[in-house]
Amino acid sequence: MDELTQTYLDYLIIEKGLSHNTILSYSEDLIRFLNFLEKNKIDTIHGVDTTTILAWLIDLAKNGLSAKSRARHLISIRGFFKFLLNEKIILSNPLKNVDIPKTGLSLPKFMTIQEVSDLLDVPDICKPRELRNAAMMEIMYGSGLRVSELISLKLQDINLDANVVRVMGKGSKERMVPFGSQAGNITQKWIKQGRPALLNGISTPYLFFARGGKPMTRQGFWKMLKKYGVLAKLSKNITPHTLRHSFATHLLEGGADLRSVQTLLGHSDISTTQIYTHISRDYLIKMHRQYHPRGS
């Protein structure tokens, strides 16, 4: 079984192009699962059935793992058995009828459109540093970027004629993401006016930067967002992920299909994107009641 797990991890690295941290997480989950099998004297993958999986989940719970952690382990093992099934190493998947533990996937926090508008209106764009902050928030919300993707952007990655940005996402996968005219206009102003003023003769390849032309840290961007959230008098705790989640939710509420949102977010698996449908369900019910002839 060690050989099978190594083959699977090689597949994730070579075929899926997953990041080092993601591979490490999968590896740790698989090792814990294999240790459970060994403890229960199951020495072949063909000896694993649905009962085994349920017993393993119970064991995880007994060892103090939360529903969210158990869900993550289950997703890791699901991927492993799906791989084995596709490779015809096993003939049936023992996880087929095993549900993810309830509350295992917490819903992402997001802002309303008005809250986003209030947040984006806070910076004083007459000041170079504030102009930079406004452009960063506009691009993040306009394109749904991860914070790591945002702070890594180079000047050459943005095309203001086409309003698209080239992003290097997880697993070194490149994608092109569009953004709206508001994000484009303020970013253009940043590049022409604010950026040269802050650089003051220093050279840097980064689109957005901190002191000395160095890239901004994730913590630095998070602190900036937190400050603006307070100034905008938002009751929610605003994080970089909140803007990304708001981007996805607002697209779905506006009628975008799940596959398109998956592509824009850079998710390799649509199941990762499907979590946003839970958020939009209330909106869909509201729209149905409002517009359907028999909705009320």
Q: Give the active site residues.
A: 146, 170, 241, 244, 267, 276
Query: Buried b vs exposed e over 51-76: b needs ≥16 C-beta within 10 Å?
Result: ebbeebbebbeeeebebebbbbbbbb
Q: Are 81 and 73 in contact (CB under 8 A)?
A: no
Q: Are 199 and 213 in contact (CB under 8 A)?
A: yes
> Tokens standing for 220?
């630095």
Cβ partners under 8 Å of residue 98, min gap 6: 50, 53, 54, 57, 74
Please give the torsion angle defined by the CA atoms of residues 249, 245, 268 and 184, in that order, rounded to the nearest 10 degrees: 90
SS (H, E, C) 73-121: HHHHHHHHHHHHHHCCCCCCCCCCCCCCCCCCCCCCCCCCHHHHHHHHC
Cβ partners under 8 Å of residue 42, min gap 6: 48, 52
Alpha-carbon gap, residue 200 to 112, rounded angstroms: 38
DSSP labels, 154-208: BGGGEETTTTEEEEE-GGG-EEEEE--HHHHHHHHHIIIIIHHHHHTT---SBSS
Cβ partners under 8 Å of residue 237, min gap 6: 109, 226, 229
Show the CA angle centred on residue 170, arms to residues 71 and 100, nearest 5°: 10
